[in-house]
């Protein structure tokens, strides 16, 4: 068969450039004149192309870029052909409130396996929360306290050994501690990270997981091809997300082999494998394995980030350290373990204010949590947003609202210590402050999708902070710089360098 010479003559570089120009022109015309979002301000490139958000997500600068877009264009901005970001008080309930009609965005379909984190359907999510709620109650967090205390004692021993060698990179050590605590909480056994000379593979894989999931969600066919390239290093990198679930599968199967399905134990899995006494059916083994991996991931990175920034802020403020130490010494004599009981910590105003202020200024999730409007659309503030539009409000911007958090870039725990402060409870995310501050404050998320492990995280942080502050004074390492604590965000924030601190016994 003879080649089609007419077609070959027609497909020329000049014509190809022409087609590309026409395509771009049509995109611009749609963004400027036809799109139902055309009246919302934003960069023209963002309005006309998904490449804008693709670059932000790959470069790890979504939260910072969106902050600059808001600064230039105002409180409501378009950052994608079908994506709008808000920085207004009235958007919080409309997007994240318990009565919101918005659901999680399609982005969640590509991340993690079938755990509560990714479920988009409102009814299905509510059902799953009921299924796992027994494992994440404040009572469960208190039951795990002896195990937490034991690991914190080991951690103090490691600090005592390592501090004599020089400055410690505490982001690493807090990750190891919290990863071990997660193992104890879920399956009753430490992951051995504190005692290992190598960083556990699970922890290494966490850093790349959201990047891989994002690529798989955006380019499924391309990633299918890339995953089959016979390049060993590439295969190892891309297989990281599978290894997360290999870990949880092995941990669960070992647990069942040791303790069976009706163990008289206090860990979370013991509550998930037992048949519920209520009308809610239990989880299958496969779903329990998914939840172990997903929630271990979530707990390890979020809590370790908060602890790193908290001790960095204390290192910058010796007077605040002294005030906190005095508060911690006031309730009672220190127990023989050297680790205060959580019951003596839960209502300490300065301790809780420092934790809250750290999560305000340094939220482990800086970007806005992505939601999607219902098919019929939704009124958000002064705008009607068409159906199936991705909407969000940046956690970082909410926490740095200058009207309700004056001098927002300064670390001021006192802002949470108003005269009308409510006593903290083991699972309260915020005490003190104004109602507007509490509404803007969302380090654990908001509404129906609020973090299931909130109570456990707060109990853990109170115990760790109290134990270390009573034992040590902390200061910045000799060569530490502010830039060390800069971060990228791939859903969770990742420190670019590290948190280098010196610990000295008091």
**What's the CA gap between 493 and 491, in Å, rounded?**
7
DSSP for residue 351: H
Query: How would you classify residue 434: left for phi > 0, otherwise alpha for psi between -120 and 50, otherwise beta?
Result: beta
**What's the CA gap between 99 and 305, in Å, rounded?**
31
| 61 annotated as belonging to a binding site for a ligand | no
**What's the CA gap between 78 and 41, in Å, rounded?**
6
CA distances from 143 to 150, 177, 268 (A): 13, 19, 10
Task: Confirm if 95 and 64 have CB atoms less than 8 A apart.
Answer: no
Structure tokens at 6: 């007419």
In the three-class reduction of DSSP (H, G, I as helix; E, B as strand; rest coil), residue 159 is classed as: helix
**What's the CA gap between 252 and 83, in Å, rounded?**
39
* φ, ψ of residue 153 in degrees (nearest 5): -60, -45
Structure tokens at 33: 């004149």
Q: Residue 379 forms beta bridges with which residues? A: 384
Rg of the chain over CA atoms, in angstroms? 25
Closest Cα to residue 159, out of 149, 169, 150? 169
**What's the CA gap between 504 and 506, in Å, rounded?**
6
Annotate 168-218 with DSSP letters as a single string: EEHHHHHHHHHHHHHHHHHHSS---TTT-SS--HHHHHHHHHHHHHHHHHH
Task: Confirm if 97 and 369 have CB atoms less than 8 A apart.
Answer: no
Count the Cβ atoms, other than its own, within 10 Å of residue 248: 23
Q: Residue 381 forms beta bridges with which residues? A: none
Binding site residue list: 451
Annotated binding site for heme: 451
């Amino acid at each position: 068969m003879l080649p089609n010479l007419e077609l070959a003559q027609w497909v020329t570089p000049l014509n190809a450039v022409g087609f590309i120009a026409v395509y771009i022109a049509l995109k611009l015309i749609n963004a400027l004149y036809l799109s139902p979002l055309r009246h919302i301000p934003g960069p023209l490139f963002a309005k006309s192309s998904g490449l804008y958000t693709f670059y932000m997500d790959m470069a790890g600068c979504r939260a910072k870029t969106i902050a600059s877009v808001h600064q230039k264009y105002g409180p409501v901005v378009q950052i994608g052909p079908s994506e709008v970001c808000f920085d207004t008080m009235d958007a919080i309930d409309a997007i994240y409130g318990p009565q919101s009609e918005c659901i999680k965005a399609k982005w969640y379909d590509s991340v993690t396996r079938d755990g509560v984190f990714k479920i988009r359907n409102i009814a299905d999510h509510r059902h799953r929360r009921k299924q796992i709620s027994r494992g994440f109650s404040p009572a469960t967090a208190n039951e795990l306290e002896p195990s937490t205390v034991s690991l914190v004692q080991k951690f103090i021993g490691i600090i005592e050994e390592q501090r004599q060698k020089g400055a410690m990179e505490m982001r690493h050590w807090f990750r190891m501690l919290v990863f071990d605590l997660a193992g104890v909480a879920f399956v009753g056994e430490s992951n051995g990270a504190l005692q290992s000379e190598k960083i556990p593979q699970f922890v290494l894989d966490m850093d790349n997981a959201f990047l891989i999931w994002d690529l798989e969600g955006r380019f499924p066919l391309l990633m299918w091809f890339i995953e089959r390239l016979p390049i060993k290093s590439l295969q190892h990198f891309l297989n990281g997300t599978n290894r997360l679930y290999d870990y949880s599968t092995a941990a669960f199967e070992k647990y069942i082999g040791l303790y069976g399905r009706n163990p008289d134990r206090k860990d979370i899995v013991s509550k998930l494998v037992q048949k519920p006494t209520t009308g809610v059916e239990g989880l299958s083994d496969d779903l329990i394995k998914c939840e172990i991996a997903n929630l271990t991931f979530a707990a390890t990175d979020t809590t370790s980030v908060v602890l790193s920034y908290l001790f960095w802020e204390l290192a910058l403020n010796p007077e605040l350290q002294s005030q906190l130490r005095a508060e911690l010494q006031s309730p009672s004599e220190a127990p023989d373990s050297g680790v205060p009981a959580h019951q003596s910590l839960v209502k300490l105003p300065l301790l809780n204010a420092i934790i809250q202020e750290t999560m305000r200024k340094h939220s482990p999730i800086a970007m806005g949590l992505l939601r999607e409007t219902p098919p019929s659309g939704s009124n958000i503030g002064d705008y009607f947003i068409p159906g199936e539009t991705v909407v969000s409000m940046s956690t970082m911007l909410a926490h740095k609202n200058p009207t309700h958090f004056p001098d927002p870039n300064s670390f001021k725990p006192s802002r949470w210590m108003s005269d009308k402060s409510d006593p903290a409870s083991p699972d309260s995310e915020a005490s003190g402050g104004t109602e507007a501050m509490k509404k803007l404050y969302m380090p654990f998320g908001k509404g129906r999708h609020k973090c299931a492990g909130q109570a456990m995280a707060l109990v853990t942080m109170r115990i760790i902070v109290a134990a270390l502050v009573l034992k040590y004074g902390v200061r910045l390492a000799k060569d530490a710089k502010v830039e060390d604590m800069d971060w990228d965000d791939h859903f969770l924030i990742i420190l670019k360098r590290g948190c280098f601190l010196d610990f000295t016994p008091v």
